[in-house]
Amino acid sequence: MDKDIVVVIGVGGMGRAIARRIGNGRKILLADVSEGALSVADVLLGEGQDVVTQVVDVSSRDSVAALADTAAGLGRVTQIAHTAGLSPTQASTEAILRVDLLGVALVLDEFARVVAPGGAGVVIASMAGHMGGLTPEEERIVAVTPTDELLALPFFEPDVLGSPGAAYSRSKRANIVRVQAAAGPWGDRGARVNSISPGVISTPMGQEELAGESGEQMRMMVSMSAAKRLGTPDDIAAAAAFLLGQDASFVSGTDLLVDGGTVAAIRPLLPVG
């Protein structure tokens, strides 16, 4: 009998936590652009998990397609968690668009081909996608534009965006929109797909952002939130486990905001329009 395959793309703090949370009894395929990062597989193997790895460049359709084909060759692809991404302190505007915008769209496309009936996928977006970024008309365009044409849209041009932060916010809003648009094609396979929008999470990437130029603003948002604390990778893994599991069998094409109430506190203070 084919083994159920869990695919985790991006093995940072969230990816590792998700793999640990949902991997028991399944074969885990870990994928990351960094071969060094994939050494986490040795840790999981030592914990008794069944793990294989593959290097992937999520900004390359060929690379993502090869990963999807590998997953399908291993067994029934029942759960896919896409956590790979770049933050504003880590990368240029162009790199963020390639990874955070195009990369998500490519994963949604290619894994729609191989996800098993009854399977599910989850994409890590961001609470930044809930605080502006795209107009309703731009969202409509993002929803229907072919994946390979996304980077050519005028409102994603680096000169228009002006900064990595703007590229990040717009890309994360686009993630939510593309997941909504993908729910139909995934549903045709008998599968579901959703997104999670984390708040400020204590991962290596999150700590890097807190130490950067936006750190003071992020700490202020945390202090204003309902939870008044940083999120943890386990907070996100718990949300992913729900969305990828049978308890969420009637949930698809939606975004789960896991931010400790940050957006609820901040949104009334944002400028209108």
- Residues recognised as catalytic: 168, 172
Residue 7's SS3 state is: strand
Residue with tokens 């998990």: 49
Tokens of 35: 């071969």
- d(Cα 219, Cα 223) in Å, to the nearest integer? 6
CB atoms closer than 10 angstroms to residue 159: 7
- d(Cα 55, Cα 124) in Å, to the nearest integer? 19
The overall longest dimension of the chain from CA atoms, in Å, is: 56
Chain Cα centroid distance, residue 79: 13
| Angle (CA) 201 205 207, round 5° | 65
Looking at this protein, which amino acid is placed at residue 53?
T
Which residue in 71, 101, 80, 65 sits closest to 23, CA to CA? 80
Q: Partners of 4 in the beta sheet?
A: 76
Looking at this protein, which amino acid is placed at residue 199?
G
Residues 6+ apart with CB under 8 A from 102: 58, 59, 147, 150, 151
